[in-house]
């Protein structure tokens, strides 16, 4: 870890379209900025998407030749341009 960066996993820049579903806020399509073994960062522009930290969402990569798995994730970080999502280890 360097400075204030508390991340456990190395990030890799990756731009992909993902469908994010929140039980109360609805369904959205966002772009990713990076991915790691622990999660993904989604870029939120003008969409009315404002989850709380700790909220659970499902995420599915879009545009693949076969349907990608739907993954359960938790909102763990908010920045000016998006949200950090962590893979839900509990799966509940």
Report if residue 64 sits inside a domain.
Answer: yes
pTM for this entry:
0.85
Q: What is the pLDDT of residue 76?
A: 97
The answer to the question of residue 1 being in a domain is no
Do the domain assignments include residue 35?
yes
Q: Is residue 5 part of a domain?
A: no
Give residue 34's domain range.
Answer: 11-87
Spatial separation of the C-alpha atoms in residues 48 and 25, rounded to whole Å: 8
4 found inside a domain? no
Q: Are the beta carbons of 73 and 85 closer than 8 angstroms? A: yes
Query: Which CATH number is 60's domain given?
Result: 2.40.10.220
Q: Give, for 76, the enclosing helix (H) or strand (E).
A: strand 71-78
What is the pLDDT tens value at each position of the chain, 92 positions in all?
Answer: 444 555 566 778 888 999 999 999 999 999 999 999 999 999 998 778 999 999 999 999 999 999 999 999 999 999 999 999 999 987 55
Q: How far is it, in rounded angstroms, from Cα 48 to Cα 35?
A: 23
Total domains, the chain:
1
């Amino acid at each position: 870890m360097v400075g204030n960066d508390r991340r456990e996993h190395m990030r890799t820049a990756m731009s992909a379209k993902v469908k994010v579903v929140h039980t109360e806020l609805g369904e959205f399509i966002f772009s990713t900025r990076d991915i790691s073994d622990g999660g993904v960062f989604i870029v939120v522009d003008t969409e009315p998407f404002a989850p709380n930290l700790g909220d659970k969402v499902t995420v599915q990569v879009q545009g693949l030749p076969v349907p990608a798995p739907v993954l359960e994730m938790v909102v763990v970080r908010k920045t000016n341009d998006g949200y950090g999502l962590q893979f839900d280890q509990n799966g509940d």
